[in-house]
Amino acid sequence: MKRLKLAILISGRGSNMEALLKAAAAPDYPAKPVLVLSNRPDAAGLETALEAGVPALAIDHKPYGKDREAFERAMDAALSEAGTEIIALAGFMRVLTPRFVEKWQGRMINIHPSLLPKYKGLDTHQRALDAGDAEAGATVHWVSPGVDDGEIIQQASLPILPGDTPDSLAARLLPVEHRLYPEALAKACAVVSART
């Protein structure tokens, strides 16, 4: 079985990244982490990755100002250097330019905390509560140029309980995300491997 070289892009805590690293510690998992990249030098996930023995690098977006393409060229150079074959966005909080997305299209996936196509963008849990939804959830999808818009790979849902707040919902959803993401990444790897 081919293990695709996996880069994980984060911006903060990195608990989904950690779930992917744990899954990928199994020798028969179809992805092998080669790089964790953060746009924030203070992202807690960088330390977690290093402790797991995975190369981790911060490329701060701030010095690039509004020049998103220059920031992405720097990221792209690091991704290529690591031999990246598939990218998992895991709480990566920068919107990517169409140029970057097109370059990696079909090889880049994201986890979003809603049952897409509902609630693209931010404040997903507040919006689900405001709408009186009976359930919330998370979606792993291919990344396409539209924000949170690509083809769905896998979803997981959970019931919204009386008294739920955005925080309580996010806390209950997190372990669900941690089970969902490794499964969905394995499916994405199968698709990419079948193509090459």
Per CB under 6 A, residues contacting ligand GRF are 10, 12-17, 90-91, 111-113, 138, 177
Torsion of CA 136, 87, 85, 25, to 10 degrees: -70
Q: Which is nearer to ligand GRF, 34 or 90 (CB)?
A: 90
Set 61, 112, 125, 178: catalytic member? 112
Rounded Cα gap, residues 6 and 23, in angstroms: 12
The nearest distance, CB 100 to ligand GRF, in angstroms, is: 17
Annotated catalytic, 125?
no
Q: Which is nearer to ligand GRF, 170 or 191 (CB)?
A: 170
The answer to whether residues 99 and 69 touch, using CB atoms and an 8 Å cutoff, is yes
How far is the CA of 3 from the CAs of 20, 32, 51, 186, in angstroms?
A: 14, 6, 21, 10
- Looking at beta carbons, which residue is closest to ligand GRF? 91
The nearest distance, CB 111 to ligand GRF, in angstroms, is: 5
The answer to whether residues 10 and 36 touch, using CB atoms and an 8 Å cutoff, is yes
Q: Which is nearer to ligand GRF, 17 or 128 (CB)?
A: 17
Catalytic (active-site) positions: 112
